[in-house]
């Protein structure tokens, strides 16, 4: 991808569990890893195992990337997606079904509940960072790629350029 007279290598390494071990060794020179997480995944299960909530898999995968020695000096960006669907999911499916420790004094239909949940979810991810990781090498973005389209992708690229203008995963 070319943006602002710069070239970016962007690779989608998502997919089935069986494919995950193969990709980590293919990015030795990456300067940024962008991990996308669906904020509604607490209400979904894995295709491979219908007993496992997707959010559990996302948290475990994020943990393995954040703590992998190959990515110890790489900027890590957590991009929370599907925010445009969150309001309807929060009303339909209780967050406490998966996160029993989640507490909010707001009603599920209120903007305050959504803010509380997003803050809680961000904490769930950031708590998996190793203690020695410099907090300046971690950033959280909220993105609604479906709604905002290319404008949002452009904003994300601008943000990532400020971090390190090299290769981005």
Per-residue confidence (pLDDT) for residue 7, from 0 to 100: 72
3-state helix, strand, coil in the chain (%, to 5): 45, 15, 35
Residue 8, pLDDT above cutoff 60 = yes
For the stretch 106-127, pLDDT in tens is 999 999 999 999 999 999 999 9
Is the domain covering 2-163 a CATH 3.90.190.10 domain?
no
Residue 132, pLDDT above cutoff 70 = yes
Residue 158, pLDDT above cutoff 90 = no
Query: Residues 138-164: what's their mean pLDDT?
Result: 64
* Cβ-contact 79, 12 below 8 angstroms: no
| Mean pLDDT taken over the chain | 81
What gap in Å lies between CA 139 and CA 132, rounded to an integer? 16
Quickly list H helices, the chain.
20-23, 54-66, 86-92, 111-126, 145-163
In DSSP terms, which residues pair with 78 in a beta bridge? Answer: 35, 140
Q: Which residues contact 110 (CB under 8 A, 6 or more apart)?
A: none
- Which pLDDT band holds residue 4 (cuts at 50, 70, 90)? confident
Residue 99, pLDDT above cutoff 80 = yes
What gap in Å lies between CA 61 and CA 59, rounded to an integer? 5
**Weakest-pLDDT range from 19-23, 102-106, 143-147, 165-169:** 165-169
In DSSP terms, which residues pair with 3 in a beta bridge? Answer: 6
Per-residue confidence (pLDDT) for residue 165, from 0 to 100: 47
What gap in Å lies between CA 61 and CA 35, rounded to an integer? 9
Query: Residues 57-67: what's their mean pLDDT?
Result: 91
């Amino acid at each position: 991808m070319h943006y602002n007279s710069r070239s970016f290598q962007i690779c989608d390494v998502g997919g089935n569990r069986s494919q995950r071990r193969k990709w980590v060794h293919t990015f030795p020179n990456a300067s940024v890893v962008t991990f996308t997480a669906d904020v509604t995944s607490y209400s979904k299960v894995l295709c491979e195992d219908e007993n496992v909530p997707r959010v559990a898999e996302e948290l475990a995968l994020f943990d393995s990337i954040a703590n992998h020695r190959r990515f110890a000096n790489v900027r890590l960006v957590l991009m929370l997606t599907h925010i445009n669907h969150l309001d309807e999911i929060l009303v339909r499916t209780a967050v406490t079904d998966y996160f029993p420790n989640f507490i909010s004094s707001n009603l599920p239909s209120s903007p305050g509940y959504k803010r509380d949940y997003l803050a809680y979810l961000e904490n769930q991810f950031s708590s998996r960072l190793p203690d020695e990781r410099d907090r300046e090498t971690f950033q959280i973005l909220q993105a609604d790629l479906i709604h905002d389209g290319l404008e949002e992708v452009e904003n994300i690229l601008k943000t990532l350029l400020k971090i390190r203008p090299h290769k981005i995963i």
